[in-house]
Amino acid sequence: MRAVLQRVTSASVVVGGEVVGAIESPGLLVYLGITHDDGNLEVAWMARKIRDLRIMPDEKSVAELGAPVLVVSQFTLYGDARKGRRPTWVAAAPGEVSEPLYEAVCAALKAAGTHVERGVFGADMAVASINDGPFTVVIDTP
């Protein structure tokens, strides 16, 4: 599992002209990619990392601040463009594998008390954000 975390002052996702998820206060925008061998262990690890990583202002975490999180599925995080001019997506898990794991990460964050907004899995999304810092970090599960 791979996530790109961006500390933002606000962020939103629009699908078909309609806002489907938005955070209007400082928090995290999380792009989440799933690979073939991910499972429940990776879900729990990633949700904990997103919630507890001390990357908010004053070295605080989302959990400490009660900050919101906007989670967007993004299979392209597992794109491989080392050869040729077209990336390959073979490392990205197919939708029937990745969608339940994406939903599980969102559910684990919510169960831990985090305010979670989300994109629409598999949709063509327009994501807007104001990066705070800028601050962006890439996280891979062990």
Active site residues: 74-76
Return d(Cα 32, Cα 16) in angstroms, integer: 21
In angstroms, the CA 134 to CA 101 distance is: 28
Distance, in Å, from the CA atom of 126 to the CA atom of 124, rounded to the nearest integer, reads: 7
What size, in residues, is the chain?
A: 142
Alpha-carbon span 53 to 127, nearest angstrom: 23
